[in-house]
Chains A and B, each alone.
Chain A
Amino acid sequence: MKIEGRALCLGEDIDTDVIIAGRYLRTRDRSEWARHAFEDLDPSLATRLEGTVIVAGRNFGCGSSREQAAIALKEAGVRGVIAPSFARIFFRNAINIGLPVIECECTCRDNEAVSADPGEGTVTIGTHTYHTRPLSPRMLEILSAGGLVAYWRGRR
């Protein structure tokens, strides 16, 4: 499994309220969450997410268990998220909805080319390659299936 895109650099402690605000949660329209992603951080960000790999600081996705945060990013076209650490519920949610997440401490410059392989545990940003802990085989299977729902149906 390989993810590729252009880097979008974000800071530390990006919380789930900032990823998708509570006022937008009560709908079944997933595109609504994508449209309002990061609105309280930078209202122009949502339209620039397509094709990006988010490279963030520590503790990405802290706060609420709202799965809409991971879904908003995936629906907006984010290819994956790389951060030194994640809040654990966000991490599980991302895998479960098929959004690749990789734990890696990287230097980031906006729009640099990013390619990463969560199975190999490698991340390349610009010309620099980082080696990190790969995801577990089960997580990779879930991601490859496109998420836990598809994985679960495939196993039955």
Chain B
Amino acid sequence: MSTLSERILGAPAGDYVDRQVDRAYVHDGTGVLTLEAWRAMQAGAPARPGRCYVLFDHIVPANNSVTAGLQHDLRVFARDQGFHFTDVGEGICHQLMGEGIALPGEVVVGADSHTCTLGAFGAFATGVGATDMAAIWAEGGTWFRVPETIAIRMRGALSGPAEAKDLALTYVGRLSMDGATYRSLEFVGDGVASLSIDSRMTISNLAVETGAKAGLFYADGSTCRYLEAYGHRVRPQEPEECCYERELHFDLGEVVPVVAVPPRVDCVKPVAEMEGMPLDQVFVGTCTNGRFEDLSRFAAIIRGEKVKVRTLIAPASRSVLARATETGTLATLVAAGCTILPPGCGPCLGAHQGVLGEGEVCLSTANRNFKNRMGVGGEIYLGSVATAAASARAGFLAAPEAMP
């Protein structure tokens, strides 16, 4: 009997396997270096161009002419090779791959550590580096060590103001930043059914912050309905009795709003213990929390009021932005004084669009709070969308109230 990772990779934990990959993607950041390695390899034509994706999201639109030149080169290459290509403004690579592209049971590799986000669909999805990706372009596959698996077993349902991000930070805090190194996480238990697909993507997204190679949910009825809207008919994946290396148990009803204190993602504290901390910026977005569910939640809390601290919001994709426009969510955010950024990674990686100054403190819904990441001398506290909204409304770190 197998874990989901073992089932998809087709071998027991500990084995090394060579596997064709079903989807391989890069973004404008890692794609440049991948292209350099590819050219150095002189490999001829890509093995399976129809399985390759180049998705611009990291510095979009380009912040200067050097970046623009690098992006231009990659853009021309992607089109010449017949790769799937999405340009500036379409959205974050992991989000786009999650909008009806990555499917249950697939092996997905991305040249970005947060590729694990797509585990939300029951895919074995993991990050690779640029040179590995160049070899994947050439050969259509790569080697994997089949990981041991740690189960995150959930029961009940989130309640009050707690959301998926709080659960995600809580499990990172329990496992620590290397608690799952070389391993996979599987999110199981009767609590899973209560989590939306957007929420599952948030939970899978943070798997890599524990060192994990992948973070998988079994595809269930919700997954099938979500993918059906994109024209895919898929079947649920039935869990088997299997051998987990260890299990962590979470009662979802006991999860409370938390923040991760810089510079560690695993330094997790209840918001209630830190209320009142001054903030210079609130940032809502990224592959962790830039989906429609997130924007809509923020809008529901801020509706009719004004933000008291500068607040940046970056939708995760054009379709998220479109839905926010159609539903009036966007108008609520604009009326509240939020600054809307184009779909993409925004200031998460400290390259543009909201970089912090020396001594500034940001509450961010992203996934990393490493030293100087969003700007030299700036500090990043990671939290949920509801905490971000409550804090934007208050002008300082504030605990969210239960949603009506």
CB contacts (< 8 Å) of A113 on chain B: these are none
Segment at the B interface, from A17-25, A45-53, A104-112, A124-132: A17-25
A62 near B178 (CB under 8 angstroms)? Answer: yes
B370 near A18 (CB under 8 angstroms)? Answer: yes
- The verdict on B60 contacting chain A, using a C-beta distance below 8 Å, is no
CA distance A136 to B145 in the complex (A): 12
Q: How far is the CB of B350 from chain A (nearest CB, A)?
A: 5
Which chain B residues (233-283) contact chain A, with CB distance < 8 Å?
A: 264
With CB as the reference atom, state the residue of chain A lying closest to B30: A65
With CB as the reference atom, state the residue of chain B lying closest to A27: B66
* Contact A87-B211, Cβ < 8 Å, known A22-B349, A22-B350, A58-B178: yes
B138 near A59 (CB under 8 angstroms)? Answer: no
- Interface 1/0s, chain B 187-225, versus A by CB < 8 A? 000000000000000000000000101000000000000
Which chain A residues (65-95) contact chain B, with CB distance < 8 Å?
A: 65-68, 70, 85-89, 92-93
With CB as the reference atom, state the residue of chain A lying closest to B177: A13
A-B CB contact pairs (8 Å), 28 listed? A13-B177, A21-B373, A26-B32, A26-B59, A26-B66, A26-B67, A40-B371, A40-B372, A59-B178, A63-B370, A64-B349, A65-B30, A65-B111, A65-B112, A65-B127, A65-B129, A67-B130, A85-B178, A86-B181, A87-B178, A87-B181, A87-B211, A88-B213, A148-B37, A148-B134, A149-B134, A152-B135, A153-B41
A96 near B59 (CB under 8 angstroms)? Answer: no
Q: How far is the CB of A32 from chain B (nearest CB, A)?
A: 11
CB contacts (< 8 Å) of A26 on chain B: these are 29, 32, 59, 66-67, 70, 351
Q: How far is the CB of B136 from chain A (nearest CB, A)?
A: 11
CA distance A153 to B43 in the complex (A): 8
* Contact A89-B368, Cβ < 8 Å, known A26-B59, A27-B66: no
B contacts, CB < 8 Å to A: 16, 29-30, 32-33, 36-37, 40-43, 59, 66-67, 70, 111-113, 127-132, 134-135, 138, 143, 177-178, 181-182, 211, 213, 264, 349-351, 368, 370-373, 376
Q: How far is the CB of B385 from chain A (nearest CB, A)?
A: 23
CB contacts (< 8 Å) of B177 on chain A: these are 13, 59, 62
CB contacts (< 8 Å) of A114 on chain B: these are none
- The verdict on A118 contacting chain B, using a C-beta distance below 8 Å, is no
* Contact A89-B351, Cβ < 8 Å, known A67-B33, A68-B33: no
With CB as the reference atom, state the residue of chain B lying closest to A149: B40
Q: How far is the CB of A141 from chain B (nearest CB, A)?
A: 13
CA distance A65 to B372 in the complex (A): 17
> How many A residues have CB within 8 A of the partner chain?
39
> Which 5 pairs across A and B sit closest by C-beta, in order of nearness?
A59-B178, A93-B129, A96-B131, A17-B370, A67-B129
B181 near A85 (CB under 8 angstroms)? Answer: yes
Q: How far is the CB of A149 from chain B (nearest CB, A)?
A: 5
CB contacts (< 8 Å) of A148 on chain B: these are 37, 131-132, 134-135
**B29 in complex: contacting residue of A66, A149, A153, CB < 8 Å:** A66
CA distance A59 to B212 in the complex (A): 11
CA distance A64 to B177 in the complex (A): 13
CA distance A97 to B135 in the complex (A): 12
A40 near B41 (CB under 8 angstroms)? Answer: no
- The verdict on A147 contacting chain B, using a C-beta distance below 8 Å, is yes
CA distance A59 to B177 in the complex (A): 8
A40 near B368 (CB under 8 angstroms)? Answer: no
B42 near A153 (CB under 8 angstroms)? Answer: yes
With CB as the reference atom, state the residue of chain A lying closest to B147: A88
CB contacts (< 8 Å) of B181 on chain A: these are 59, 85-88
CA distance A64 to B134 in the complex (A): 18
CB contacts (< 8 Å) of B43 on chain A: these are 152
With CB as the reference atom, state the residue of chain A lying closest to B110: A65
CA distance A18 to B372 in the complex (A): 8
